[in-house]
């Protein structure tokens, strides 16, 4: 029997593992994974948070911040304040929906960021009303047009890094099953965060920022995203394991 209100989601056809107990139930088998209402709600919340954090970061990254104590300041793009959330939120999506759903969310978010860039570009190039003289009329283009390059860097870095994150997470679950959930988050993020930081800065700011500043941004991204990953790891426990397992027939 299935639980009331459950929705059927196709399961990944990766083939059954030798020991199903050590596997992510959203990943294996030829049937369907039944998500109850609570699990579906968490999946939607995690997906919405992932998309929002990614889009916000692309706009915020147009500004480079200088933070830290006077004796040890460092440069960092403002998008790093929200972007680190995407790594743990992706892991939460993966936990609930499986690898295929996680990949779909990554690609869909990349597409939405393309729409963001195109929307900003169109707004900047279309003629403004000359009777309106607010600062937004004058500075919208100069301020937000760089977001196009930032968005390109973000999309490339995000797709590469998050796909790597997905594979590391998947292999961790296959190896350790449902034990030490914090390990799957930290292990996947430890690989994907440096990749994301290097690729993003190289594409978004290469040739624009002085090399010393670019290197500082890379290191700051790795450190801040790493710390954020540790602080947000408890999010993986927001959804109980039994909500992500198919109910018994």
Based on the structure, what is the number of domains in the chain?
Answer: 1
Q: Is residue 72 part of a domain?
A: yes
Is 67 part of a structural domain of the chain? Answer: yes
Residue 182 lies in a domain: yes
What is the structure's pLDDT at 34? 62
Is the residue at 2 inside a domain?
A: no
**What is residue 178's DSSP assignment?**
T
Query: Which stretches of the chain score pLDDT less than 70?
Result: 1-34, 241-249
Give the domain CATH number at 120: 1.10.1760
Could you tell me if residue 124 is inside a domain? yes
Residue 92 C-beta-side C-alpha neighbours within 13 Å: 27
- What letter does residue 233 receive in the DSSP assignment? G
Q: Can you give the pLDDT at residue 10? A: 44
Per-residue confidence (pLDDT) for residue 178, from 0 to 100: 72
95 lies in some domain:
yes
Parallel, antiparallel, or unpaired for β 74-77 and 64-67?
A: antiparallel
Q: Is residue 14 part of a domain?
A: yes
What residues make up the domain containing 192? 7-243
248 occurs within a structural domain? no
CB neighbourhood size of 117 (10 A): 20
Residue 239 C-beta-side C-alpha neighbours within 13 Å: 27
């Amino acid at each position: 029997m299935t639980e009331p209100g459950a929705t059927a989601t196709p399961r990944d056809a990766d083939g059954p593992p030798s020991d199903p107990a050590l596997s992510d139930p959203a990943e294996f088998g030829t049937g369907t994974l039944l998500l109850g209402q609570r699990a579906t709600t968490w999946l939607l919340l995690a997906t919405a948070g992932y998309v929002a954090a990614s889009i916000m970061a692309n706009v915020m990254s147009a500004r480079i911040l200088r933070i830290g104590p006077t004796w040890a300041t460092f440069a960092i793009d403002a998008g790093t304040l929200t972007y680190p959330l995407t790594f743990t939120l992706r892991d939460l999506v993966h936990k609930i929906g499986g690898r295929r759903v996680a990949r779909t969310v990554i690609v869909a978010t990349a597409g939405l960021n393309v729409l963001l860039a195109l929307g900003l570009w169109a707004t900047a190039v279309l003629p403004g009303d000359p009777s309106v003289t607010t600062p937004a009329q004058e500075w919208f283009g100069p301020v937000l047009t760089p977001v196009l390059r930032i968005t390109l860097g973000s999309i490339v870095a995000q797709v590469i890094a998050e796909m790597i994150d997905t594979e590391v997470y998947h292999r961790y679950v296959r190896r350790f099953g449902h034990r030490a959930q914090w390990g799957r988050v930290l292990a996947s993020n430890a690989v994907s965060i440096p990749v994301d930081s290097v690729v993003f800065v190289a594409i978004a700011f290469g040739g624009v920022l002085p090399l010393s500043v670019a290197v500082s941004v890379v290191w700051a991204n790795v450190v801040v995203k790493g710390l954020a990953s540790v602080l947000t790891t408890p999010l993986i426990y927001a959804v109980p394991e039994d909500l992500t397992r198919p109910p018994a027939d």
